[in-house]
Chains A and B, each alone.
Chain A
Amino acid sequence: MENIAPISWKKSSKPHLFCPGCGHGIVLKQLGYAFDEMKIARDVTFGIDIGCSLLAWNFFDADTIQTHHGRTTSVMVGYKMAKPERIALAYMGDGGGYAIGLQALLHAAYRNNPVTVILVNNENYAMTGGQSSPTTPVGMVTSTSPNGKRAEFGKGLHGPELISEIAAPNAYIARVSISNPIQLKITLKKAIENQVKNKVFSFVEVLSICPTNWKTNAKESFEILREAEKLYPIKEFTKEKEVEK
């Protein structure tokens, strides 16, 4: 591990506490590489939500604050106002960002606050044991949709699409998947660069896997991820907006 681990990782907190096979490890590794390549770990203040993401509270050798359900965006907006020279990252899951914290996320995007939000979408509330979330696809079995999620509860909330509707043209908004780690890293770097250079809002949704709650092996986990990639298209939303203009 020593040879490939990002330099920005806090070694004393490894091995990390995420479940075996969890997608967070992949996201946080690529984020670590992004910090390393951009040489910014010392300039980053990392805000993390509660839920599985809380396990990243001491993941990086970077100042980190773990806050309450869905409140990470608001904390980082306030932080960034006080420290405009710092790089403010907010890290959360689909429950924190799209349900309990959606209001804060939408308004930060609407105001174009210069923070970067990274939302890891594993289609369920994982820390609480796998309940249905706003992004759970129709038919998926969870502990609150034991017979498969019903269509009447929503067909899967499309966050980047929603946010790009109200975000400023210079906001960077994208969806990526852990199935393509290189693209994931490049996208994270673009989102951070947009905060640094243009001092505007950025948002990256990362499609991820949850083998523990899905009760899947590696192959089955990636089969579900492939389905998620069909439901939630991998793309940059900013570019499209510019092309339209």
Chain B
Amino acid sequence: MTEKKLLLTGNEAAVLGAIAAGAKIMFGYPITPATEILQGWIGKADKSDELQYLQTEDEIAAGFGVLGAVLAGEIAFTASAGPGHVLLQDPLSMAENLRLPFVGIMMQRGGPSTGTVNFSQQEVNLAAFGGNGDGIRLVYSASSVLEMYTLTQEAFQMAWRYRFPTILLGDGYLGKMKTVVELPADRADVKAEPILKEVSESTNIRNCYSSEADLAEVLQKNLADWNHARKSLVLSESYELDGAETVIVAHGLVASAAKDAVSILRKSGVKIGLFRPITLHPFDTEVLKKAVAKAKKVMIFESSLNQLARIVKYELADQKVNYEEVSKPAEGFTAAEIIKAVKGK
């Protein structure tokens, strides 16, 4: 069942996804290529009595503003990229330890730092492991404009259900490309409640502990919850994996090109398939393990040096796999390039 057909950019789809999920406040700082999310939200908020926004002095204030709002029980978020994503590691770390449902939409740009303004997949490490903790964050990677809508909703839903900080990764091409999408009518059911509870027994929360043992107790509980939730959180797409001798692993927009490549190669009889992780963290290891069990080769395509490859190799550490990594840091892939790489030319 579809709601309506709209001509949307990825950034516009993210705004609609946030509204559909029941988000009420956005905190943000302008940064290419995520700026249109802030602008789009403000455009909606100025016509609404329900939606609020704050254009902050920097991303640190935006991130901690989100934390203040979620402590009050409001569904809130920010959107950023590159250097802003770096500054957001401080609030993300607090959210990680205090289990606050922080949601950030990160439209990756080329790095390090200000690098280029349009595209990369170089913020995977930052999103999943960027804080000074052990990386208990939920990270999604969108590969289409439609997913910028659906996964934004998924991000809010899971952040509030499991209380892990949650990041949706996109990139500048995805944010700015415009396409016709049919938005599904199904909406995320996000249940938000105050974390500072305002009841007679006061809620006192700290993120600084008196001893290693005190902190360890908190961390062990958080890790146990994370491991318990993994199965419910992982998402992936399997495409033409039946009988695939070559398994491509790619995420985001690169996976979109890889899917085209697989489709073309299959028509010419090449036994090839695509595994696309939708959650990069946690990772849908079980599905990938099945896919690679009979494969001769696993090819990892990514627009970063080996940020996806490290995750894949760690998750498949107990498998005997013949890897080929095709990395193009901060540059995109066409289907033709992927076909060429598969054919070894």
Binding site for B on A (CB under 8 A): 10, 42, 45, 47, 50, 54, 57-58, 60-68, 71, 74-83, 86, 103-104, 106-107
Bound state CA distance, A65 and B95, in angstroms? 12
Chain B residues numbered 87-122 whose CB sits less than 8 Å from any CB in chain A: 90-91, 93-94
CB <8 Å contact, A75 and B64: yes
B76's contact among A10, A78, A103, by CB below 8 Å, is which?
Answer: A78
Interface flag for B326 (CB, 8 Å)? no
A78 and B202 in contact (CB under 8 A), knowing A67-B94, A104-B61? no
Residue of B nearest to A63 (CB): B196
Binding site for A on B (CB under 8 A): 24-25, 27, 52, 54, 56-58, 60-61, 63-69, 71-74, 76, 90-91, 93-94, 194, 196-198, 200, 202-208
CB <8 Å contact, A74 and B61: yes
A75 and B67 in contact (CB under 8 A), knowing A67-B94, A83-B72? yes
9 smallest A-B Cβ distances: which pairs? A78-B68, A78-B65, A79-B68, A82-B72, A82-B74, A74-B64, A57-B206, A75-B68, A107-B57
- Secondary structure of the A contact surface, majority rule: mixed
Residue of B nearest to A71 (CB): B64
Residues of chain A within 8 A (CB-CB) of B27 are 78
CB <8 Å contact, A63 and B198: yes
A57 and B60 in contact (CB under 8 A), knowing A75-B68, A81-B65, A82-B76? no
Bound state CA distance, A245 and B314, in angstroms? 67
CB <8 Å contact, B198 and A77: no
Bound state CA distance, A130 and B213, in angstroms? 27
B264 to chain A, nearest CB (A): 48
Bound state CA distance, A79 and B76, in angstroms? 11
B152 to chain A, nearest CB (A): 20
Q: How many A-B Cβ pairs are below 8 Å?
A: 119
- Secondary structure of the B contact surface, majority rule: mixed
CB <8 Å contact, B205 and A79: no
A152 to chain B, nearest CB (A): 28
- Given A54-B208, A67-B207, A74-B60, 10 more A-B residue pairs with CB atoms under 8 Å apart are A42-B200, A45-B72, A67-B67, A67-B94, A71-B94, A75-B64, A79-B68, A79-B196, A104-B60, A107-B57
Residues of chain B within 8 A (CB-CB) of A10 are 202, 204
Bound state CA distance, A104 and B58, in angstroms? 8
A82 and B73 in contact (CB under 8 A), knowing A50-B208, A74-B64? yes
Bound state CA distance, A220 and B90, in angstroms? 39
Query: Which of A10, A57, A82 is the most central at the interface, judged by chain B CB atoms within 10 Å of its CB?
Result: A82
Residue of A nearest to B74 (CB): A82
A76 and B68 in contact (CB under 8 A), knowing A57-B204, A63-B202? yes
CB <8 Å contact, B64 and A61: no
Residues of chain B within 8 A (CB-CB) of A58 are 204, 206
A71 and B198 in contact (CB under 8 A), knowing A57-B205, A79-B72? no
CB <8 Å contact, A77 and B207: no
